[in-house]
Structure 1
Amino acid sequence: MLSPTGWGALVGGGGLVGAGYAFGYPEAVVLGVGCLLAVTVALVWTGRPPRLAARRRVTPRKVARGDRAEGAVTLTHTGGRTRRGLEVVDRCGERPLVLRVPPLAAGAEHTVRYALPTERRGRIALGPLRLERTDPLGLARRVRVFGPGEGGTDALLVRPRVCPLPVLPSGTAHHVEGPTSDTADEGSLTFHALREYVLGDDLRRVHWRSTARTGTLMVKHLVDVSLPHTTLVLDTRRSAYRSEDDFELAVDSAASVAFAAARSHFPVEVLSETGTVLRTDGTGGDDAEALLDRLALVRRSEHASAAGAFDSLGQARRRGSLTVVTGTGDATGLSALERVRRRFDRTVVLRTGGGAEDDRHEPPALGSDVPQLRVRALDSLPAAWRREAVR
């Protein structure tokens, strides 16, 4: 296809030829014919599609925010003639990346490497790859879009940064409800809630009364109360944070707290005002990785209040630790913590971001015995968290 310059040369050349013949200007005719010849040569130059194979590699496919990730596109010339004027365009999110390719002889292979953006969390869509060939004057362009399996679409998952933290100690020797662990029917496993059946669940745990009432196969969700339970509430309201960076710091802090427990195979539950983000029971070998994958996709919400995050916490008796991660902005709804915090052995509030001016404002009243830790950078979290762990 012709580029805008090529269309201009075509229209201009035709106009010059016509005007030259009409008004008797041979110089205009020569100039117009030259433009038309240039367009013709450009179309012939780009007319035959290059025979190239392409493949893309992304290393690594999952990366912590701010770490290095690299894309590599390898082109193999399977034709019989040297190809020049090649460009590869790879779309990274909303940004196109133009990769220049040197002349490729028959059978030659060339790899182009480029850094991928990892400043923000999320799933970054890559591709599809587009191979563009232009003539030396830029009048014509041939574009080939590679399909699946040959450099089509791909994705990079940018996950939260985490720092090493200890699991917050809590009084976990007690049961959520029922007998002591020594006399429980299944050792230290105790009923926690009802949930829908999934393939692989033990049929002995089916709750037939609820199944008959709802018409859906329901099973008893059991938890091991001998393990430290970590419940984490992440405030995702846009109004709770002064900036996008403060919210990213909040997600990093929440990921660090939850990752420490999940990596040790302890039960973890992460919630926000929009609902449950993730719940693990400590029995899965990849719980920690699944947690980071899910938190990579968390976005800010437009909810006006954080109270909804605490509603489900009042539906059952709970033990273990409760960590609330919020910003230094609007605190609407955080007072709902008061009605559920006594269901937990320990409660900690992390307030992320803000500057020196925020220190002059009183933090929201959440009870005199609820510690509120200020986190201005992820590197400062481990020291403050360890002091709280031994308190």
Structure 2
Amino acid sequence: MTTTLEPPAGAPQPTGPEPAGAELSSADAEAARSRARRRARRAWPVWLRWLPAVGRRAAGIAQVVTLLASRLWGVLRPRLAIVSAMGWLVLLAAVVFGVAGFVLGWQEFVYLAVTLLAGLLVAIGFVFGRASFRVLIELTPRRVVAGDRALGRMLVANTKAKRSTPARIELPVGAGLAEFVIPPLAPEAEHEELFAVPTNRRAVIVAGPAVSVRGDQLGLLRRTVRWTEPVELFVHPLTARLAPSAAGLVRDLEGETTKTITNNDISFHALRAYEPGDDRRYVHWRTSARTGQLMVRQFEETRRSQLTIVFSSDRRWYVDEAEYELAVSVMASLAQQVIRDGTRVSVVSEKQQLRTVTLTAMLDDSCRLEPIASPYASPREFARQATLRLPPPSVAMIVAGSLMPLTDFRAIERLFGLDTQTVGFRTEVGATPRLASISGLRVGTVGELADLQKIVRRMS
């Protein structure tokens, strides 16, 4: 028996044998393949043809669901935020004990779940109610030196047309939290609370925002209303008063002469032969007439005094926090005197460049300095990047801790030109004040802030 194999339904049918030796052109071959693909698509099941449309509809439905879910979460989030972490823990425990009680048949677990849920229901009653206050936070003074006393004042006024209910207001002060109980207030009545601000350490202390709190005594539910913005108290570092004229290291305020030769300035240096392009205003006619050749003046460049202080906040170079605070005081004392003298100064650290437009701005920014892990490979790399866009200084000062090697001071000094006078200051709490020199670089060791003026006087 002979069996004939039939091609599957929908498959492309042969068009007959081709003549021997006949070859299809590339265009004919492409047309044949296109016809075969169309026949294959027509042979697909009907439901497969709707897949692209179904995919587009599914994507549209997913977008609508996502939009509705985000809006629903925006509505529910403020309401769910009143449940504290303790409240969520109690709710979870109630569910667990309830399920375990019904599954295991233990009535004790069911009673415990009901008790926990009852506690949550009772707590809901404590979050209802609305207060209307006008709250004012004042710090007096706003800027103090470390160790000085600073006081705070909170004034609460009832702005509602009826008597207010007792309220509890929380006021964050630095790392602490102050709580005040506000008694019932008549319309437009005021209540004042005074508090002391700890200022034993240099810092920026933030007081506020003041928030009123409604909730149960167990802390299951907690609803807060914010009434004020944060207020900053600047605790400036201790500083020492130094001798005028940039601590005795910068003696001029109008400009100092450098060894750079320029074609136009104030300080005359020498005469040279005229070259094409020279300004004829600087031709020295008397000498030109005597020598028979045009001669022009040369000058020594003068520049206005510019001082740069490189302060390292890298915690690797400090033994402890006291040594770091001493370094901040040394830096602030130097910059303070330079600003008072009217000399331009730039103060840079790994984290920020301090504002030096005014003395207050510099001291405010010094309050924000904290020991950090330096992102730079070496102190030289930090100094190079920090001073890259600063004007060339006439005096550079380097301030760091006792653990920074003298070789790193020397490496930073080599970043500046020969016209720059460079000095270094190392802080070592309790050390005897001394002055060392390495390849012409003078580095003073400061044991306490009172030693700074003595060391600066020896340097100058």
- TM-score range relative to shorter protein: 0.5 to 0.7
Structure 1 position 6, deviation (Å): 12
Aligned residue number for residue 277 of structure 1: 353
Q: Distance in 1 between matches of 2:435 and 2:378?
A: 17
Aligned residue number for residue 261 of structure 1: 338
Q: Distance in 2 between matches of 1:141 and 1:88?
A: 16
Aligned residue number for residue 256 of structure 2: 174
Does the 8 A contact of 1:56 with 1:74 survive in 2?
yes
Does the 8 A contact of 2:401 with 2:426 survive in 1?
yes
Does residue 349 (structure 1) correspond to residue 424 (structure 2)? The answer is: yes
Of 365, 369, 378, which aligns to 1:305?
378
From the two aligned structures, give the one with the greater helix fraction. Answer: 2
| Equivalent AA in structure 1 for residue 247 of structure 2 | L
Flag the 1:224–1:258 CA change in 2: closer, same or farther, 3 A.
Answer: farther
Aligned residue number for residue 216 of structure 1: none
| Equivalent AA in structure 2 for residue 348 of structure 1 | V
Of 394, 400, 405, which aligns to 1:326?
400
Q: Distance in 1 between matches of 2:429 and 2:340?
A: 30
Flag the 1:248–1:181 CA change in 2: closer, same or farther, 3 A.
Answer: farther
Q: Distance in 1 between matches of 2:193 and 2:422?
A: 51
Aligned residue number for residue 109 of structure 1: 190
Q: Distance in 2 between matches of 1:46 and 1:102?
A: 17
Aligned residue number for residue 380 of structure 1: 451
SS in 2 for 1:258: helix
Flag the 1:234–1:315 CA change in 2: closer, same or farther, 3 A.
Answer: closer
Aligned residue number for residue 366 of structure 1: 438
Question: How does the TM-score come out when normalised to structure 2?
Answer: 0.56
Q: Distance in 2 between matches of 1:116 and 1:260?
A: 29
Aligned residue number for residue 186 of structure 1: none
Q: Which runs of 5 or more structure 2 residues have no equivalent in the other structure?
A: 1-81, 269-300
Aligned residue number for residue 239 of structure 1: 316
Question: How does the TM-score come out when normalised to structure 1?
Answer: 0.64
Q: Distance in 1 between matches of 2:121 and 2:390?
A: 76
Flag the 1:338–1:40 CA change in 2: closer, same or farther, 3 A.
Answer: closer
Aligned residue number for residue 295 of structure 1: 366
Q: Distance in 2 between matches of 1:157 and 1:327?
A: 24
| Equivalent AA in structure 2 for residue 168 of structure 1 | A
Q: Distance in 2 between matches of 1:124 and 1:314?
A: 32
Of 129, 144, 151, which aligns to 2:228?
151
Q: Distance in 2 between matches of 1:40 and 1:279?
A: 55
Q: Which runs of 5 or more structure 1 residues have no equivalent in the other structure?
A: 184-222, 281-285
Does the 8 A contact of 2:209 with 2:230 survive in 1?
yes
Q: Distance in 2 between matches of 1:88 and 1:119?
A: 26
- Across the two proteins, how many residue pairs are aligned to each other? 321
Structure 1 position 352, deviation (Å): 0.7
Q: Distance in 2 between matches of 1:292 and 1:8?
A: 49
Flag the 1:53–1:143 CA change in 2: closer, same or farther, 3 A.
Answer: farther
**Deviations 1:80-120, CA, capped at 9 Å, x for gaps:** 23523x32212345x34132224223233212232334455
Identity of aligned residues (%): 26
Aligned residue number for residue 200 of structure 1: none
Does the 8 A contact of 2:379 with 2:412 survive in 1?
no
**Deviations 1:272-295, CA, capped at 9 Å, x for gaps:** 4x4982586xxxxx5322322333
Q: Distance in 2 between matches of 1:88 and 1:336?
A: 55
Q: Distance in 2 between matches of 1:47 and 1:278?
A: 48
SS in 1 for 2:242: coil
| Equivalent AA in structure 2 for residue 165 of structure 1 | L
Structure 1 position 54, deviation (Å): 1.7
- 1:1-391 equivalence runs, <5 A: 4=86, 43-44=124-125, 46-79=127-160, 80-84=162-166, 86-93=167-174, 95-107=175-187, 108-134=189-215, 138=218, 142-146=222-226, 150-166=227-243, 167-169=246-248, 170=250, 172=252, 174-176=256-258, 177=260, 178=262, 179-181=264-266, 225=303, 228-272=305-349, 274=350, 277-278=353-354, 286-299=357-370, 300-302=372-374, 303-308=376-381, 311=384, 312=387, 318-319=393-394, 321-331=395-405, 333-339=408-414, 340=416, 342-344=418-420, 346-355=421-430, 366-367=438-439, 369-389=440-460
Structure 1 position 309, deviation (Å): 5.1
Q: Distance in 1 between matches of 2:365 and 2:142?
A: 15
Flag the 1:375–1:100 CA change in 2: closer, same or farther, 3 A.
Answer: same
Q: Which has the larger radius of gyration?
A: 2
| Equivalent AA in structure 2 for residue 68 of structure 1 | R
| Equivalent AA in structure 2 for residue 366 of structure 1 | I
SS in 2 for 1:343: coil
Q: Distance in 2 between matches of 1:305 and 1:77?
A: 58
SS in 1 for 2:257: coil
SS in 2 for 1:70: strand
SS in 1 for 2:170: strand
SS in 1 for 2:402: coil
SS in 1 for 2:131: coil
Does the 8 A contact of 2:322 with 2:429 survive in 1?
no
Flag the 1:385–1:104 CA change in 2: closer, same or farther, 3 A.
Answer: farther
Flag the 1:338–1:125 CA change in 2: closer, same or farther, 3 A.
Answer: closer
| Equivalent AA in structure 2 for residue 327 of structure 1 | G
Q: Distance in 2 between matches of 1:279 and 1:7?
A: 48
| Equivalent AA in structure 2 for residue 162 of structure 1 | T
Structure 1 position 138, deviation (Å): 4.8
Structure 1 position 53, deviation (Å): 2.4
Q: Distance in 2 between matches of 1:2 and 1:336?
A: 58
Q: Distance in 2 between matches of 1:383 and 1:117?
A: 32
Flag the 1:73–1:294 CA change in 2: closer, same or farther, 3 A.
Answer: same
